Structure 1
Amino acid sequence: MPVQLTKETFLEKVFNYEENKEWKFEGDKPAIIDFYADWCGPCKMVAPIMEELAQEYDGKIDVYKINTDEQQELAGAFGIQSIPSILFIPVDEQPQMAAGALPKETFKKVISDVLKVE
């Protein structure tokens, strides 16, 4: 299951933007973050895909969700303008953002190409 992040857990597990100006990933394996809201139709389409990816890549990547209504500061920190927005985070490179409800095959391609996970 994807893990819900609050600001506190985000600072600890992903990126402490209060202490670091430059991107510094705090995790030990690649991650995907789904920025969503409960009322968002396309977000509801992505939710089961995120759950499947969390199961299929269990132990290889971390899958997180951030509710933009509840965590407005985190959404603002990443300049989230539309949801769903998906952040793909490789361990040693800059993260990449994708907007919109992506099909599962696209997620798998990005996991392979950007996160370097098969």
Structure 2
Amino acid sequence: MSDLKAVTDASFEEDVLKASKPVLVDFWAEWCGPCRALTPELEKLAAAHEDKIEVVKVNVDENPAIAAKYGITSIPAVFAFKDGEKVHTSIGAKPQPALEQEFSDLLS
């Protein structure tokens, strides 16, 4: 099981949109192999930058409303939110250095 916080349809607004720092949201599913490969990379990213960002997970099978709201059609999908707005999207499993490069504006 992941060390990352699980966010639900019910808690999304509070945990993500009203968060005091940028949040990376990993939209994933249990049956998705690339999603499982991405989780340890996101955990490393979260640990390395815990002072700047928060990383959370949304299971799209268990939380269809939030997945539909953001038009999730491919997983894993990592959306970056800052001040309640979606500011960046990353699709697919990537290693931590690639994630750091993609989200560098939130990590500096």
TM-score under structure 2 length normalisation: 0.88
CA gap of 1:95–1:63, structure 2 versus 1, over 3 A, is same
Distance 1:64 1:86 in 2: 10
- 1:29 pairs with 2:31: no
> Which structure is higher in strand share?
2
Q: For the pair shown, which has the larger CA radius of gyration, 1 or 2? A: 1
- 1:9 pairs with 2:1: no
Counting aligned pairs with the same residue, the percent is: 36
CA gap of 1:92–1:33, structure 2 versus 1, over 3 A, is closer
- 1:79 pairs with 2:62: no
TM-score under structure 1 length normalisation: 0.81
**Which residue identity is paired with 2:73?**
Q
Please state how far the C-alpha of 1:107 moved relative to its aligned partner. Answer: 0.7
Please state how far the C-alpha of 1:34 moved relative to its aligned partner. Answer: 0.4
How many residue pairs get matched?
A: 106
- 1:65 pairs with 2:57: yes
Q: Which runs of 5+ in 2 are unaligned?
A: none
Please state how far the C-alpha of 1:47 moved relative to its aligned partner. Answer: 0.6
Q: Deviation digits for residues 4-28 of structure 1, max 9, x if unmatched?
A: 001121121223xxxxxxxxxx111
Q: Which has the higher contact order (CA 8 A, sep 6+)?
A: 2
